[in-house]
Amino acid sequence: MNQKIYKQLMADTGGDVTQINREYVANTFDAVINDKHKTVEQWAEAIDNYCLQRYFTQHWQANMKKWKYSGLKLIDEVNALHPRSVLDVGCGYNEFRGKINHLIGIDPYNNNADYKIATLDYKTKKKFDVILCLGSINFGTQDKIVREVSHCVSMLSKGGTMFFRVNPGLQHKKTEAHWIEFFAWNVPFIIDLAKQLELKILDIRDDTNQRKYFIYRKV
């Protein structure tokens, strides 16, 4: 759950859900929520979903050329692994399609994805030799981050490789991103998560714009 939105709701209403309505949400969060919800948590989730949907469908723009390690350079690096299957989680405009072999792109917001679906909602018995998580597992609380990475690990083949680009908690500058909660990734958490999920760390380094780039392998 987006704590930034939840805390604002609690500060304004004291937890009284009857004070939350369409007009209040529009004025406070610039969000249009037509359905009524029974709890503050449900309202927070609905507003968070709206803000993410609006930002990544209408305002966010991709630029794969700017990334030193986690952009177009990955095409040759991934293909050199000769993967039988590749999953691009949060693929955006699906720019690796046709460039990385045997790739499937999923994204909850972009029509260019092969499957327009959220990470945790994507269910398959297929195992992937490579999974890309490039700027996609960045939103919400630590619990949500762990659940999303764990779900990806469950779809990874034994010996498979995961490539990550993550945000250290830097807010995007556009006004429409104001209520989005960016998780503050850091090296100790990357190391602890690898231990928790029994993954081997192959690399950790700084990428463009203070992002972290790292590689896990499933042992």
* Same domain, yes or no: 15 and 112: no
Q: Is the pLDDT of residue 19 over 90?
A: yes
CA dihedral 95, 100, 106, 110 (to 10 degrees): 10
* Same domain, yes or no: 96 and 162: yes
* Same domain, yes or no: 93 and 35: no
* Same domain, yes or no: 48 and 71: no
| pLDDT number for residue 76 | 96
Q: Is the pLDDT of residue 63 over 90?
A: no
Q: Is the pLDDT of residue 62 over 90?
A: no
Task: Read off the CATH number of the domain in which 126 is found.
Answer: 3.40.50.150
The total number of structural domains in the chain stands at: 2
Domain that holds residue 20: 3-59
Strand order in the sheet with 156-166: 103-106, 86-89, 128-134, 156-166, 212-218, 199-206
| pLDDT number for residue 105 | 98
* Same domain, yes or no: 197 and 104: yes
Give the pLDDT confidence of 134-188 residue by residue, as tens digits.
999 999 999 999 999 999 999 999 999 999 999 999 999 999 999 999 999 999 9
